[in-house]
Homo-oligomer: A and B are copies of this chain.
């Protein structure tokens, strides 16, 4: 039985079904929403217009799941998990029918919910989170009104992606955020590059500002966002404040939560201490293998891996999820943003003695047409030279270079080992030293202090 029919839940269901036929294993999946297996990460691009059809974001339709003998019950909310009697209570949103359904194995994949401040006006129509397809559709409906100015509250991934979407829709965009620079998952010096680039695109960035209210007009719709930095005119407000694990149901059933509020799991994605209960996706916390700490990192790519691991294990195979290194990539219009491993503050928190280097390079050989600039920051442990993290801000061809660092982090490589890596080189693809290696060279040659 699966609670939550998106990436983690339905990957688990599909993988289990691939290994065990309907005679061996009955699979039921519940979801409160009306969709299954869709790309939440794609919503900004649907709102922005790059993706024309909502249907494009749906990886597998309910019909496809049902054809594979997965009993998918949409618009059906699970309201209680009864671990003692191994059953869940569900309620159909249309009609309100309630029933109990028993399980042998339970997969908790309840996802995350967007943070929405309990402040005046934030629950008005025209103030939008963008976590579900329904959210995206509601925002698109608002944009059909006479909208000229958008305020995005929050400067993280969702914030900058939604800023791009609003720019593409032709709106004037203001991003209001709390930290000194946008993209708080980067060090401030790298975040500043993002801010400068956003300002160059005509996006107004208001750093260090706390939202206080949405001021509404007589029609009950937004006129402005009021923050500690002033009043920012808005016809539409988009929330990019991040998400928290959606774990009320699990918590009520007594399942263990970590410090981040996400469910704890074993590497096999079992919920520890309870037999036959699994959890994955945006409702769990994951081990960052660089810091050794657990974090809540809601990303579709992790959710899919969790689902694969759970489905393999339920299906009789053996799989585990070793954790993450903290990789994330994003973009605002033409500016690509990437990070992996630890940023300075995280390295401090882990008690590490570290040093860093920042270099500028290009995506292709400098003389090759389309060579785009990028800045790479690399952190390494002082003394050992062990790689700790990489951040990249640049133009086309910048972000995915972080993958090299992600693999090197997983392998525990030093900056000297990175200098020696045999990466693909030809003038249309890279300078003769790949930008990540240029940063590693700089760190490797810094005198020990």
Interface residues of A (CB under 8 A from B): 7, 39, 41-42, 45, 50-51, 56-57, 157, 161, 299-302, 304-305, 308, 319, 321-322, 324-331, 336, 338, 340, 365-369, 397, 399-404, 406-408, 410-411, 413, 416-417, 419-430, 432-434, 441
Contacts and interface: CB of A to CB of B under 8 A. Distances in A.
Given A308-B441, A403-B421, 15 more contacts: A39-B365, A41-B425, A50-B369, A301-B423, A301-B432, A305-B419, A319-B416, A322-B417, A325-B422, A327-B423, A329-B426, A329-B429, A329-B430, A336-B429, A407-B411
28 contacts: A7-B432, A39-B367, A41-B365, A42-B427, A51-B368, A300-B425, A308-B419, A319-B416, A322-B417, A326-B422, A327-B424, A329-B424, A329-B425, A329-B426, A329-B429, A331-B428, A338-B424, A340-B422, A399-B424, A399-B426, A399-B429, A402-B424, A403-B403, A403-B404, A406-B424, A407-B408, A407-B423, A408-B411
A399 B207 CA distance: 38
Nearest to A411: B411
Contacts of A302: 422
Chain B CB count within 10 A is highest, among A45, A50, A419, A422, for A422
Contacts of A330: 426
Given A404-B403, A413-B411, A427-B45, A327 B422 contact: yes
A302 B422 CA distance: 8
B408 A424 contact: no
B422 A42 contact: no
Contacts of A404: 403-404, 407
A32 B404 CA distance: 38
A302 B432 CA distance: 9
Contacts of A429: 329, 331, 336, 399-400
Contacts of A417: 322, 410
A422 B400 contact: no
A45 B428 CA distance: 9
A116 B99 CA distance: 81
A434 B406 CA distance: 13
Contacts of A157: 426
B424 A410 contact: no
Nearest to A11: B432
A441 B308 CA distance: 10
A40 B132 CA distance: 52
A50 B7 CA distance: 44
A366 B39 CA distance: 11
A369 B328 CA distance: 20
List 9 A-B pairs, minimum CB-CB distance, nearest first: A411-B411, A329-B424, A56-B367, A301-B425, A407-B407, A324-B422, A327-B422, A325-B422, A403-B423
Nearest to A302: B422
Given A304-B432, A368-B51, A432-B301, A410 B425 contact: no
A238 B209 CA distance: 63
A425 to B, nearest CB: 4
A406 B427 contact: no
A441 B311 CA distance: 14
Contacts of A434: 403
B399 A421 contact: no
A45 B368 contact: yes
